[in-house]
Amino acid sequence: MKLRYLLLLGLLPACTSPATTTRTAAPTADARFDRFKNNLLLDLWRLNPDFALSQGFHKYDSLLVVPDASQRAREAAFVATKERALTGFAPDSLSAGNQTDYRILKNELTAQRWRADTLHEWQWNPATYNVGATAGDLLNGRHYPLARRLRHISGRLALAPAYYAAARANLDNPTPEHTQLGIEQNEGGLAVLGAALADSVRKSSLSGSEQTLLTQRVTGARAAIAGYVSYLRRDVLAAGRARRSFRIGRALFDRKFALEIQSGYSAGQVFGLAQRHKRDLLLDMSRRARRLWPRYRAGQPLPADTLVLIRQVIDELTLKHPSRAGFMAAIKAQIPVLSRFVDAHQLLTQDPSKPLVVRETPLYMRGSGAGASVSAPGPYDKAADTYYNVEPLPAAWSAARAESYLREYNDYTLQILNIHEAIPGHYTQLVYANRSPSLVKSVFGNGAMIEGWAVFSEKLLLDAGYGNNSDELWLLWDKWNLRSTLNAIADQLIQTQGASEADIVALLTREGFQEEAEARGKWHRATLSQVQLSSYFTGYSEITALRDEIRRREGAKFSIKQFNEQFLSYGSAPVPYIARLMR
């Protein structure tokens, strides 16, 4: 409401005296650009209701866009129109904040056109299409009363048959990996349209005719989803029509890196930086493992191979882990501990009014290889819950596989995971992002900044004394940070250099000291994404460099609390843009 009011003020004529002039002052470049940004977002929400829903903009919750050729034409026309309008602004005439928004919007429009016209993921990724996912978000939401949310779900489901017909028509030689993901996540979508939804309908204040209509639409949508799943399983996967490689190659990878990461480094430079950082981490791990050896391997000879030495000490430390049944409870118990530490050490100001809910990852979100994630409300719905999604260990896993996973997320590492995902990592950063006066910086969040901050926040707490500076916690932080570093290395080895699963598992288990279950999970994840695995190390490196630069410049006056809060105040803008604003 406040933003809208300010934008309307920008449309009002300047206050002038009739005695001196009857003309109104021309709007400033910033006022014109503010109107342009506002109109762009409003047009975008109408074009992409799913994106609008994710940002807490609920005007179009009842709309389901059928992803056919006419929709792609509308999206192309939107991009072309906004790109032409953007050329009417001279960046140098804008304020520093609007110059950043200009660059973000220019990059976003270029990226949208490139994804549609060059990357063509809409042709080869069947997991792109999932009606159940947004239905689940609406069902679990709190923005409107239940009856209204159910009406919105009903409106969306009416077009489910046309939606999946368009999805089938779009697919052309998809990858086997994304086809399997599409099967799994749409089966999760079927679960959304099952007993929980039926129970909500019965409990709602919908009229009898509305309940009947919704039930009919649910039946039609379930048939459409089941038909799509069957089509993917039988006519695509089993029939051998899923043949495309998941590897996108060097040219596409470099371009996607430039558009999505928006770093001061190129993809090649990040690869080199990650290799050097890996060596630094291994050196520190070696020193700490030697100090810990007498405590955990007393009387045993020190291995000559440094990697073996580190692995044997880590193997001792990872024996301490939650039980299979107690994994979720262990995560929940740590959240208030982290919050108290941040307050006590004045690392940044927290907002206790923004709820964080730890939950099992919904079925329609599973299968991507991410064991934990955060689903945050957008800037239009700041009061909504933030969900910390934790994927439970599958019941089908053997005891040995579950033990491998739990050793990876042992008592030490689980604390670092919670810092990363929750406090002061993703959850805290996204609360700050929603307070940014620039919607552009919040809506078009930069993945490298978001993931980079989460990695940066881990060391932020350890540097402040979290864990009493123990070699045990530092050694396993080194291992965790090595994982982010190896993510960037593996991302390029897999996508651009043809590395095999055996190559990557060997790298991650021997030089990254990961459990085999984690290493194979990372391979799976890398087959489903490109560039995203590089975002952690890239963002972390740039944030760390910026902090060091400002600390050198300010000397004794440097305040880590002031740095953190100023850095987070710019929404989720790319780190190089934030650095420019902070300088």
Q: What is the pLDDT of residue 376?
A: 85
Strand-pair category, 386-390 with 356-360: parallel
Residue 349: its pLDDT value, please?
97
Summarize the confidence of residues 279-299 as an average pLDDT.
97
Contact by Cβ (8 Å): 381, 58: yes
Residue 252 has pLDDT above 80, yes or no: yes
Give the Cα separation of 61 and 149 in Å (integer): 8
Q: Which of 282, 292, 287 is nearest to 313 (CA)?
A: 292
- Judged by DSSP in three states, 358 sits in strand
| Token pair belonging to 410 | 């042992």
Q: Kindly indicate the confidence band of residue 377, based on its pLDDT and cuts at 50, 70 and 90.
A: confident
Q: Are 150 and 61 in contact (CB under 8 A)?
A: no
Across 488-512, average pLDDT = 97
Q: Pick the residue with more confidence: 574 or 393? A: 574
Q: What is the pLDDT of residue 78?
A: 98
Cα gap 254→275, rounded to integer Å: 18
- Bigger pLDDT: 289 vs 583: 289
**How confident is residue 26, by pLDDT bands cut at 50, 70 and 90?**
low
User: Do residues 414 and 334 lie in contact, with contact meaning Cβ atoms separated by under 8 Å?
Assistant: yes
Q: Alpha carbon 81 to chain centroid distance? A: 28
Mean pLDDT of all residues belonging to the chain: 93
Would you list the DSSP string of 364-397? Answer: GG-SSS-SEEEE---TT-TTSPEEEEEPPPPTTS
Least confident of 44-58, 200-214, 376-390, 461-475: 376-390
pLDDT at residue 372, as a whole number: 86
* Confidence band of 13 (pLDDT split at 50, 70, 90): very low
Q: What is the pLDDT of residues 113-135, one digit of tens each?
A: 999 999 999 999 999 999 999 99
- Predicted confidence (pLDDT) at residue 2 exceeds the cutoff of 60: no
The predicted model gives 405-420 an average pLDDT of 95
Mean pLDDT of the region 148-159: 97
516 backbone dihedrals φ, ψ, rounded to 5°: -60, -35
pLDDT level of residue 14 (50, 70, 90 thresholds): very low
- pLDDT at residue 353 in the model: 87
Least confident window among 46-50, 98-102, 137-141? 137-141
Going by pLDDT thresholds of 50, 70 and 90, the confidence category of residue 11 is very low
Report pLDDT for 331: 95
Tokens representing residue 348 in the block: 């940044």
292-301 mean pLDDT: 96
pLDDT of residue 517: 87
Structural element, H or E, at residue 360: strand 356-360
How far, in Å, CA of 405 to CA of 520, rounded? 11
The pLDDT score that the predictor gives to residue 19 is 43
- Please report the pLDDT score of residue 16 as a whole number: 37
- Quick one: which of 386, 379, 460 has its CA closest to 427? 386
Residues 284-294 have a mean pLDDT of 98
pLDDT for 384: 85
Region 226-245: mean pLDDT is: 96
What is the residue extent of each domain of the chain? 27-119, 126-238, 259-582
In this prediction, residue 25 carries a pLDDT of: 59
